[in-house]
């Protein structure tokens, strides 16, 4: 048994609660991960409160990201004890996610945890930080460099925007932050 947040929707309404779950209830996947940390992403908030149709099927364990240790694996790239990381892939929306002590996932969705980070640090960066870095990599691929002038971050006080400010600033950009607040 392990504990998870479980979201359900039926004639008793939409509800989320912490529940004890049997391992045989886990969805299909070729890697089982003992979850060390997840984040509470904006999307998880929408899923848990039911204020937006984030969850695609019920019951659902929310949590769009996780970091942890491989407990069982039938995937060639991962073995028991490996430290791994996951962001996205519909996890927490259409496949049980990270706000649980265990998750069963497709190994192809996983990333080996970079040696520079502990699982807690990886999840402090979270999917918002991961997304901000993907955006910056895309800017770099398209030839944007610090010497071209100031760089504008919109949605700057948000999850992705605040990471974008920190990352761009560290990379030598002069960042201009835009906020409606």
Contact status: 157 vs ligand NAP (CB under 6 A)? yes
CB of 132 to ligand NAP, least distance (A): 8
In DSSP notation, 77-140 reads T--TT-EEEEE-TTBTTTB--SSBSEEEE-GGG-EEPPTT--HHHHHHHHHHHHHHHHHHHHHH
From CA 20, how far away is CA 86, in angstroms rounded?
23
Separation between Cα atoms, residue 73 and residue 43, nearest integer Å: 28
CA distance 150 to 145: 10
State which residue has the least CB distance to ligand NAP: 158
- Is the Cβ of residue 33 or residue 156 nearer to ligand NAP in the bound state? 156
Residue 85 Cβ, how far from ligand NAP at the closest point, in Å? 14
Q: Please identify which residue in 101, 155, 171, 175 interacts with ligand NAP, judged by CB under 6 A.
A: 155
Site for ligand NAP (CB under 6 A): which residue of 14, 42, 109, 117? 42
**Contact yes or no for 87/127 (Cβ under 8 A):** yes
CB of 113 to ligand NAP, least distance (A): 18
Q: What is the contact surface with ligand NAP in residues (CB under 6 A)?
A: 41-42, 127-128, 131, 154-155, 157-161, 179-181
């Amino acid at each position: 048994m392990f504990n998870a947040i479980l979201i359900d929707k039926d004639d008793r309404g939409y509800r989320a609660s912490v529940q004890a779950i049997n391992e045989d209830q886990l969805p299909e996947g070729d890697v089982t991960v003992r979850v060390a940390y997840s984040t509470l992403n904006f999307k998880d908030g929408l899923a848990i409160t039911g204020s937006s149709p984030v969850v695609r099927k019920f019951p659902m364990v929310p949590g769009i990201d996780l970091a942890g240790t491989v407990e069982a694996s039938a995937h060639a790239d991962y073995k028991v004890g490996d430290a791994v990381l996951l962001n996205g892939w519909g996890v927490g929306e259409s496949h049980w996610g990270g706000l649980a002590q265990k998750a069963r996932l497709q190994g192809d969705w996983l990333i080996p945890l970079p040696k520079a980070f502990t699982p807690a640090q990886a999840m402090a960066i979270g999917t918002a930080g991961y997304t901000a870095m993907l955006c910056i990599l895309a800017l770099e691929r398209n030839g944007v460099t610090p010497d071209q002038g100031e760089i504008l971050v919109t949605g700057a006080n948000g999850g992705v925007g605040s990471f974008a400010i920190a990352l761009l600033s560290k990379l030598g950009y002069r960042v201009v932050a835009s906020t409606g607040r």
